[in-house]
Chains A and B, each alone.
Chain A
Amino acid sequence: MVDLIQGRYVQKNRLPSGGRINRDKILTFRFDNRYYKGYEGDTIASALLANGVKVVGRSFKYSRPRGIMSAGVEEPNAILQVGSTEATQVPNVRATEQPLYDGLVCSTVNGWPHVNFDVMSLLGRIGGNMMGPGFYYKTFMFPAFMWETYEKFIRRAAGLGRAPKERDVDSYDHMHHHVDVMIVGAGAAGLSAALAAARTGVRVMIADERSEMGGGLLHSTTSIDKLPATQWVAKVCHELDGLDNVVRLSRSVVNGLHDHNFLTVNERRTHHLGDQAPEGVTRERIHKVRAHTVILATGAHERPLVFGNNDLPGCMQCSAVSEYIRRYAVVPGGSLVVMTTNDAGYQCAFDWHDVGREVVAIVDTRANADSDVIAQAKQREITLIKGSAVIEARGQGRVTKAMVASINADGSFVTGEPRTLICDTIASSGGWSPAVHLSCHTGSRPRWRDDILGFVPGETHEQVLSAGGVAGTQTLSACIQEGIKAGTEAAAKCSNSSVADAMSAPVVEDELHAPAMALYLVPHTKAPTRASKQFVDMQNDVTAAGLQVSTHEGFESIEHVKRYTAMGFGTDQGKTGNVNGMAIVAKTLGQSIAETGTTVFRPNYTPVTFGAVAGSHTGALFDPKRFTPMHRWHVEHGALFENVGQWKRPWYFPRQGESMQDTLNRECVATRTSVGILDASTLGKIDIQGDDAREFLGRVYTNAWAKLPPGRCRYGLMCGEDGMVMDDGVTSCLAENHFLMTTTTGGAAHVLNWLELYHQTEWPELDVYFTSVTDHWATMTIAGPNSRALLAKVCSDIDLDKDAFKFMDWRSGSVAGVPARVFRISFTGELSYEINVPAHYGLHVWEALFEQGKEFDLTAYGTESMHVLRAEKGFVIVGQDTDGSITPIDMDHAWAVANNKPFSYIGKRGMQREDCLRPNRKQLVGLETVDPAVVLPEGAQAVRNPEQSIPMTMVGHVTSSYYSANAGRSIAMGVIRDGINRHGESVFFPLADGRTIEARIRNTVWVDPDGERQKS
């Protein structure tokens, strides 16, 4: 099939020799279902041009045919879908940036049925006149209900390419670097800077977006130190590669320059190899670079001129034409008209002429320019039309003619009759816009320079230097000199052993240049609103007329104009259009460009995939999973897990054929009738030592700690300074000046930082140290009437007698042969022991307990049963039964508040504020459904009168609710206004499913109200 079609598509625009392509490596690719051939070293764009393909897309708003305009990142038109399989689809690839590889499949993103015969373009032609700026804001309002229908049609036209439907097969990663000097861009200035800096021995990184370093030198005709520019580039790269203090990154776009010289560099590691990255290699990498000094050597983008139908395929930048000819050996057409405001524009005519194709004319907008290039044009006998401009391109789907007319000196109007030149390519150059993008990222505003007709990087407080084109420098020798100077200066800033004059400037002969003319919008015989469309931003179809209309409508700030017209919001971010647009707005408003404002760019310089930004933090590595020492046992015993923060906690342990409720019933009943075991290792544990540890506890807990003796434990409640409950847990006195605090699982890190905050900033005079021991201890709770008997089987050195080892005591000893701390505390209300052993013994002890627990049918229970068991006893879970608006008093925990402590503990003053003392606050109560079989949904809202109309007055909500097999009915907890005083009253819960559930307010304890069991 390939061969069949091949014959029809010869590379008719490919020159027989030259270019930096490998003619031995022929690559086949597919574009819009047709096969083409190119060479290694091509981009998609150069290969398409070589094959004579003109139309590569349709415009967004008017659906006009568009061709390749540039040869680099600034390309607004040639935006393609690339990918040969569903999973490797990449939307919106710039054909000018994507290296060609064998088997590449790409297609245009708009145009139906085909990009060359697009039905939408008819609509665009008819409706286009109506679709001025602000079109959407002015219509589709009537009738109101129709908007959603209109919007469906609007959305149908949305977007350029498409996202894949399948998961990405490739992976991405990041790498951190810390360097002394970071050079962005490897043209003449960047390479010079890199070499100058590198020779001093400082750490240097240089990154460039292209596959080959050298920038414009790669298609330049000049020589450096008597070497062809390309050879000089090779020599410099070779030297850099030999230095171990240099990292040289090609195919790497510096996308962001963030605060304190932090840069993000997007390296496309495998884009040139194929759809999919080779095994083991990440497709893209983001280098995160911290640099002492940054040297911007990003060069400049050529501005095309704005003239009628300047979007026709065949209209290109002058520099792009040169680049295609010299770098890729591709001449994008047969006959060329050049329009330029400056000397640089001439080069493409020479290149075109020198490969033997026709240059119809060079149209110089300047009337009296005189410089070396003009002499060279004459030498070549190229027709030169001075003081004139191409005011309009003509052609159906591609350029066939250029309308040329003489213009006045400042380019504001046409002075002569237009005449027609036959051509298929119009190259234009309106000057160069320095690529100042990165300099804006930390808030610096670029500065307009009339002498170079462009913005240059503005003042910055960061260590950032610029060199070469980005600084407005236009001659090669000056670019190189600036590079050397910047490199030397940057190196000197970070190194004591700077080598003076590490590099001397190479010999370059510059040509005599004539000043450029300030021209952006080429005048036409008609006003912009009536002339054929003059495009400023190709991708968003913003025209000169549109900009003028916007200013007439009152959008006078450049930011308004941009937003109203969408200028600069495309994927090219206005690299070629923004300055032209600003100039047009400035002129319309009668201001200078500097007065009109500046153009501020945001990251990214060029778009970067989400995959790259996310790096390796996806899938299984999205967020750490934290495991307890007993996790393996849980997995082997069929546990389902609950995410609690980053922890994986066993949720429940279903057996064959059990429903979740069956499991919970079994686990809860087993615990209350025999013995159950819970993995509580995730609880936060903080070791507190120091002579003032006790004092400190008294200040951060609401209750009293002065008298807790060693060997005893106490429940503690922690509030914020606002008096709202923040965390709770049991703290044990290990020795007079040594405590072990436990926190909630989710609150562990926060509480530790909280303690450190208060200690370090408020009370540094207190002698106290905090150390997290959460991971050190494996914690297992055995609970139930048989827990003592079970413990006795594995622990012989602690007196377990109920009077010797009382409720809220702790003892150290050994359990299953392992040193352990055993705490007689209970979150179930049962006789209960919390066994703590160093984590590396956790699984051993756990299994030993099961080994010995067979006779008691020891039952593992998970977090869900833990919730049920604690709710049966009315124990709260901070974060579930509280929400940051509940004081200890609201929580009915007045007993845990000691207001007679000498120090005004954290939370005391807060809970005495006016609103915290008012009646009718929401308070924690038990809720008993009238029908014991009905379980209230957690989150159900309470009303006192269910008959009222909406909006109803709500008085609280259910915080915890379960079916309790032990209580033989549903149980619930919730917060209800004034609830503590309203025990016995009914509240109603109207639900979304139409039911209204009635429940009576009561206390929160459902099992063992006198608390006998835990003390037994």
Chain B
Amino acid sequence: MFNIYCPYCEEHREEEEFHPSGQAHLARPADADACTDKEWGDFLYFRKNPRGLHQELWQHTAGCRKFFNITRDTVSYQILETYKVGQSPQVKLPEVKLEEPRHG
């Protein structure tokens, strides 16, 4: 069970106070109406799901109710950093090769 540092409360708190909200830094397309079905589908459903370092969004639901980001290793479950929404992570993630998938 995780021990999570809330960057807003500036304390470590137990996982039970938090709720995970999926991949971090998912940006809603600025011009949603101009998106193709594929672009919209990518935003809606397709995720990095890495085995290793991952940036994810959590909410301090039982505490300050703020959303914030965590860089966490999805295998060792170690949390490398937590940072506020709008801030940039300090831990660099490995490059992932991603070609443009064809819509077949």
Classify A-B as touching or not with yes or no (CB < 8 A).
yes
B6 interface residue (CB < 8 Å to A):
no
Give Cα distance in the complex from A442 to B40, angstroms.
38
A interface footprint on B25-49 (CB within 8 Å = 1, 0 otherwise): 0001001110101001101100000
Is A761 a contact of B85 with CB atoms below 8 Å?
Answer: yes
Q: Is A721 an interface position by the 8 A CB rule?
A: yes
Shortest C-beta distance, B56 to chain A (Å), equals 12
Interface size counted on chain B using CB atoms at 8 A: 29
Cβ A904 vs Cβ B1 within 8 A: no
Partner of B59, one of A258, A442, A757, A909: A757
List chain B residues, Cβ under 8 A from A461: 76, 78
Most chain B CB atoms below 10 A, which of A260, A262, A756, A914: A260
Residues of B within 8 A of A443 (CB): 75-76
A442 to B77, alpha carbons, bound, how many Å?
Answer: 9
Chain B positions within 8 Å of A1010 at CB level:
none
Report the bound CA distance from A908 to B76 in whole Å: 40
Flag if B21 contacts A908 (CB, 8 Å): no
Question: Which residue on chain B has the smallest CB distance to residue A444?
Answer: B76
* A262–B66 touching, CB < 8 Å: no
CB of B9, distance to nearest CB on chain A (Å): 15
A259 at the interface (CB under 8 A from B): yes
Shortest CB-to-CB span from A451 to chain B, Å, is: 28
Give the contacts of A736-769 with B (CB-CB under 8 A). 753, 756-757, 760-762, 764
Smallest Cβ-Cβ distance to B14: which chain A residue = A290
Contact between chains at A262 and B1 (CB < 8 Å): yes
Q: Which of B51-76 contact A (CB under 8 A)?
A: 57, 59, 61, 65-67, 75-76
Which residues between 893 and 918 of chain A lie within 8 Å of chain B, taking CB atoms?
904, 908-910, 913-914
- A262: which B residues are within 8 A, CB to CB? 1, 3
Chain A residue at smallest Cβ distance from B30: A904
B67 x A756 contact (CB < 8 A): yes
A756 and B65 form a contact (CB under 8 A)? yes
Q: Please, what's the 1-or-0 string for A966-994, where 1 marks a CB less than 8 Å from any CB in chain B? A: 00000000000000000000000000000
Partner of A913, one of B19, B21, B37, B61: B37
Give A904 to B28 CA distance when docked, in angstroms. 11
Q: Which A residues are in CB contact (< 8 Å) with B65?
A: 756
Contact, CB under 8 Å: A760 / B40:
no
- Once the chains bind, are B2 and A259 in contact (CB under 8 Å)? yes
Q: How far is the CB of B79 from chain A (nearest CB, A)?
A: 8
With a CB–CB cut-off of 8 A, which chain A residues contact B104?
A: none
A760–B3 touching, CB < 8 Å: no
What are the residues of chain B within 8 A of A442 when measuring CB–CB? 77
Residue B94 at the A interface, CB < 8 A?
A: no
Docked-complex contact B44 and A721, CB < 8 angstroms? yes
Q: Given A721-B44, A761-B85, answer yes or no on A904-B32 (Cβ-Cβ < 8 Å).
A: yes
A913 to B40, CA, bound (A): 9
Query: Is A722's CB within 8 Å of the partner chain B?
Result: yes
- Alpha-carbon distance between A761 and B84 when the two chains are bound, in angstroms: 10
Q: Is the CB of B59 within 8 A of A756?
A: yes
**Interface presence of B86 (CB below 8 A):** yes
Considering the complex, give the chain A residue whose CB is closest to the CB of B66.
A760
Q: How near does chain B come to A684, taking the closest CB pair, in angstroms?
A: 15
The answer to whether B31 touches A290, judged by C-beta atoms less than 8 angstroms apart, is no
- Nearest-neighbour CB distance to chain A for B19, whole angstroms, equals 8
CA A590 – CA B71 in complex, angstroms?
Answer: 44
Q: How long is the Cα–Cα vector from A762 to B32 in the complex, in angstroms?
A: 13
The chain B residue with its CB closest to the CB of A756 is B65
- CB of A757 within 8 A of CB of B67, answer yes
Determine the chain B residues whose CB is within 8 A of the CB of A910 once the complex forms.
Answer: 40, 44
Nearest CB in chain A: distance from B64 CB, A: 11
- A262 and B3 CA atoms in complex are apart in Å by 8
A914 to B37, CA, bound (A): 7
Chain A min CB distance to B84 (Å): 10
Which of A262, A760, A764, A908 has the largest count of B CB atoms less than 10 A from its CB? A760
CB-based contact B1/A258 at 8 Å: yes
Looking at the assembled complex, report how far the CB atom of A444 sits from the nearest CB atom of chain B, in whole angstroms: 9
Give the nearest-CB partner of B77 in chain A. Answer: A259
What B residues does A261 contact at CB under 8 A? 3
For A749, the closest partner residue in chain B by CB is B61
Q: Which residue of B lies closest to A264 (CB)?
A: B1
Residue of B nearest to A291 (CB): B3
Q: B2 and A260: CB pair below 8 A?
A: yes
Return chain B residues, CB-CB under 8 Å to A260. 1-3, 77, 79
How distant is B71 from chain A, measured CB to nearest CB, in Å? 14
**Contact present for A909 and B77 (CB under 8 Å):** no
> Is the beta-carbon distance between A904 and B31 smaller than 8 angstroms?
yes
**Smallest beta-carbon distance A958→chain B, Å:** 30
Cα-based distance from A909 to B35 in the complex (angstroms): 8
When chains A and B are docked, how far (Å) is the Cα of A721 from the Cα of B26?
Answer: 13
The minimal Cβ–Cβ distance linking A902 to chain B, given in whole angstroms, is 11
Residues of B within 8 A of A909 (CB): 32-33, 35, 40
Provide the residues of chain B in CB contact with A761, threshold 8 Å.
57, 67, 85
How far is B21's CA from A443's CA once the two chains are assembled, in angstroms? Answer: 24
A721 to B28, CA, bound (A): 10
| Chain A contacts for B43, CB-based, 8 A | 721
Task: Provide the residues of chain A in CB contact with B75, threshold 8 Å.
Answer: 443
CA of A443 to CA of B31, assembled, Å: 44
Q: Min CB distance, B67 to chain A, in Å?
A: 5
Q: How far is the CA of A757 from the CA of B19 in the complex (A)?
A: 12
Contacts of A913 in B (CB 8 A): 37, 40-41
Q: How far is the CA of A442 from the CA of B3 in the complex (A)?
A: 14
Residues A762 and B28 in contact, CB atoms below 8 Å apart? yes
Which B residues lie within 8 Å of A756 (CB)?
59, 65, 67
Residues of B within 8 A of A258 (CB): 1
Residue in B closest to A442 when the chains form the complex, CB atoms: B77
A661–B22 alpha-carbon span in the complex (Å): 46
* Interchain nearest-CB distance for B74 vs A (Å): 12
- Taking the closest CB of chain A, its distance from the CB of B51, in whole angstroms, is 13
A756 to B8, CA, bound (A): 15
Pick the 6 closest A-B CB pairs, nearest first. Answer: A904-B32, A260-B3, A909-B32, A262-B1, A760-B67, A259-B77
For the complex with contacts A258-B1, A753-B61, A764-B85, 9 further pairs of A-B residues with Cβ separation under 8 Å are: A260-B77, A260-B79, A290-B3, A461-B76, A721-B43, A756-B65, A904-B31, A904-B33, A909-B33
What are 7 A-B pairs with beta-carbon distances under 8 A?
Answer: A260-B77, A721-B28, A753-B61, A757-B21, A757-B59, A760-B67, A910-B44
Residue positions of A touching B, CB distance < 8 A:
176, 258-262, 290, 442-443, 461, 721-722, 753, 756-757, 760-762, 764, 904, 908-910, 913-914
